[in-house]
């Protein structure tokens, strides 16, 4: 269970660390404060994951569902920070996240009613889109985040990513039993060992990482409240709820336990509660991590307690930052090579769901074609919606959200009516 849990952490660690790292560097936090911010995000991601997997009362989907800081909140948070003059720029962020989390918790049972509008043709389309939308993330991990940097898409990085990709596939094909279930973790270790002599492993994190730090409430800033900042984060939370709903439906298909209205409501409550708790301890908005859904599909380890163990590991990483520094040794090209397999597994699960539909029916084929076409716009052209207002771009820049909305709308438009009669020949 511990090995499987660590494997989940390895798959999502970079995604949890990236938002606080970007925000911290943008506002010029000193190294110690930046370490605390990253630790708070890991700690709260662990709490939210345990809450989601184990569940308390009507909170938590009780599925192998991983939660963490959503990357979609980065741009709005940076905009909020830029508008602050004097004082702690994170205070308005924490106040907004706290309110948005509480509102999401209260709205969960109403939002979950959307599940009735998710027939297999919509489910399959959205799940496929989740996998396809994540592919650029894996590619950026391999090539580098900055296309202007001298080392971007260096042959060495691409080679390491390609070797890791091949190793993960080979380990999944030829290993058996327990070793097959941790094929991704073995692939990450092997890829890291290959990358070490090539100079792709950065060990500088150990120099600034303290051994122990227990996150305490409001240590990084007391919350303050701003109407414009709160509206902005509430929009982010709405998008996160939509993506979480799609992810829960996708996970339900993979584990053969369809996510019903009750499950989705409980999962969305955990998103809201996790975000509110995150604001208290210094993190940001929490949402589902789709790469871990791909890991469940790849390994077929469906136990929610495995994911809860991964949440426990995340809590320890937040409390012992020096341990988190060990996990951060995995170079991004290695992580990207493994992620290509994970994200491809999610897309494959969507295709499997679509195979249950009658795609020979022109209505179904139009729903799939239209939703994929709209959903892949921000994936293929990230700057496509640059001319739109920032508030709209929060939704439009998420291919999963736009594709999900398009699939729902097209299904309502093209589904047969009760009065329709078959054609006669």
What phi and psi, each to the nearest 5 degrees, are found at residue 69? -60, 125
| Per-residue pLDDT, 416 | 62
Q: How many helices (H) and strands (E) does the chain have?
A: 19, 2
Comparing 9-18, 45-54, 153-162, 271-280, the range with the smallest average pLDDT is: 9-18
Q: CB 423: neighbour CB atoms within 10 A?
A: 5
Burial class of 151 by CB neighbour count within 10 A (0 to 12, 13 to 18, 19+): exposed
Distance separating alpha carbons of residues 37 and 31, to the nearest angstrom? 10
Residue found under tokens 């939703």: 371
Distance separating alpha carbons of residues 235 and 73, to the nearest angstrom? 9
| Per-residue pLDDT, 144 | 85
Of residues 366 and 424, more confidence is placed in 366
> Average per-residue pLDDT in the chain?
85
Alpha-carbon torsion angle 374, 379, 380, 381, nearest 10:
90
| Per-residue pLDDT, 207 | 65
Task: Judge contact between 270 and 232, C-beta under 8 A.
Answer: no
Q: What is the average pLDDT across 295-304?
A: 89
The alpha carbon dihedral of 393, 236, 279, 141 has a sign of: negative
**Long-range contacts for 81-85 (Cβ within 8 Å, ≥24 apart)?**
81/23, 81/26, 81/27, 83/228, 83/229
202: CB partners within 8 A, 6+ apart: 328, 329, 331
Nearest CA to 253 out of 314, 217, 310, 297 is that of: 297
424: Cα separation from own chain's centroid: 49
* pLDDT at 162 > cutoff 60: yes
Nearest CA to 66 out of 262, 213, 274 is that of: 274
Burial class of 413 by CB neighbour count within 10 A (0 to 12, 13 to 18, 19+): exposed
Task: Judge contact between 164 and 187, C-beta under 8 A.
Answer: yes
* pLDDT at 415 > cutoff 80: no
Tell me which H or E stretch contains 298. helix 290-299
Q: What is the average pLDDT across 54-61?
A: 92
The strand ranges marked E within 263-335 are 286-288
The strand ranges marked E within 87-243 are none
Q: How far is CA 118 from CA 84, 85, 300, 305, 310, in A?
A: 41, 45, 24, 28, 30
Comparing 85-89, 205-209, 232-236, 321-325, the range with the smallest average pLDDT is: 205-209
* pLDDT at 424 > cutoff 50: no
Query: How much is the CA Rg of the chain, to the nearest whole Å?
Result: 21
* pLDDT at 214 > cutoff 90: no
Residue found under tokens 């708790």: 277
- Collapsing DSSP to helix, strand or coil, 61 comes out as coil
Angle at 345 between CA 384 and CA 48, to 5 degrees: 80
For 245-274, how does the pLDDT look when each residue is reduced to its tens digit (9 = 90+)?
Answer: 888 988 998 888 888 899 999 999 999 999
Q: How far is CA 320 from CA 50, 78, 128, 263, 398, in A?
A: 18, 27, 37, 33, 33
Distance separating alpha carbons of residues 37 and 281, to the nearest angstrom? 9
* pLDDT at 98 > cutoff 90: yes
| Per-residue pLDDT, 356 | 81
């Amino acid at each position: 269970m511990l090995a499987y849990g660590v494997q989940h952490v390895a798959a999502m660690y970079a995604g949890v660390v990236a938002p606080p790292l970007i925000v911290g560097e943008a506002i010029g936090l000193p190294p110690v404060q930046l370490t605390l911010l990253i630790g708070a995000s890991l700690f709260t991601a662990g709490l939210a994951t345990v809450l989601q997997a184990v569940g308390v009362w009507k909170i938590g989907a009780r599925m192998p569902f991983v939660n963490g800081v959503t990357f979609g909140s980065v741009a709005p948070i940076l905009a909020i920070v830029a508008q602050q003059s004097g004082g702690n720029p994170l205070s308005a962020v924490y106040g907004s996240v706290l309110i948005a989390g509480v509102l999401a918790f209260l709205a969960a049972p109403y939002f979950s009613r959307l599940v009735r509008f998710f027939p297999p043709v919509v489910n399959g389309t959205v799940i496929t889109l989740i996998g396809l939308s994540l592919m650029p993330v894996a590619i950026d991990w391999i090539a580098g985040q900055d296309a202007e940097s001298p080392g971007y898409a260096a042959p060495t990085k691409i080679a390491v990513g390609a070797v890791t990709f091949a190793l993960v596939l080979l380990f999944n094909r030829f290993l058996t039993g327990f070793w097959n279930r941790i094929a991704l973790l073995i692939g990450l270790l092997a890829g890291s060992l290959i990358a070490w002599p090539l100079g792709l492993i950065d060990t500088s994190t150990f120099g600034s990482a303290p051994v122990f730090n227990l996150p305490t409430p409001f240590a990084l800033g007391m919350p303050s409240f701003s109407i414009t900042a709160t509206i902005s984060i509430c929009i982010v939370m709405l998008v996160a709820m939509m993506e979480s709903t799609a992810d829960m439906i996708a996970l339900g298909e993979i584990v053969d336990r369809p996510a019903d209205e009750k499950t989705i409501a409980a999962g969305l409550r955990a998103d809201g509660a996790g975000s509110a708790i995150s604001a208290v301890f210094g993190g940001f908005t929490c949402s589902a991590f789709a790469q871990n859904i791909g890991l469940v599909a790849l390994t077929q380890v469906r136990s929610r307690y495995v994911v809860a163990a991964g949440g426990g590991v995340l809590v320890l990483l937040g409390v012992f930052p020096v341990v988190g520094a060990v996990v951060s040794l995995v170079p991004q090209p290695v992580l990207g090579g493994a992620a290509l397999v994970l994200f491809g597994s999610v897309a494959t699960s969507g295709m499997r769901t679509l195979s249950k539909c009658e795609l020979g029916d022109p209505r179904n084929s139009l729903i799939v074609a239209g939703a994929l076409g709209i959903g892949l716009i921000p994936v293929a052209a990230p700057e496509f919606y640059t001319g739109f207002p920032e508030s709209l771009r929060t939704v439009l820049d998420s291919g999963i959200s736009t594709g999900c909305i398009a699939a729902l709308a097209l299904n309502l438009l093209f589904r047969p009516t009760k009065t329709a009669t078959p054609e006669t020949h």
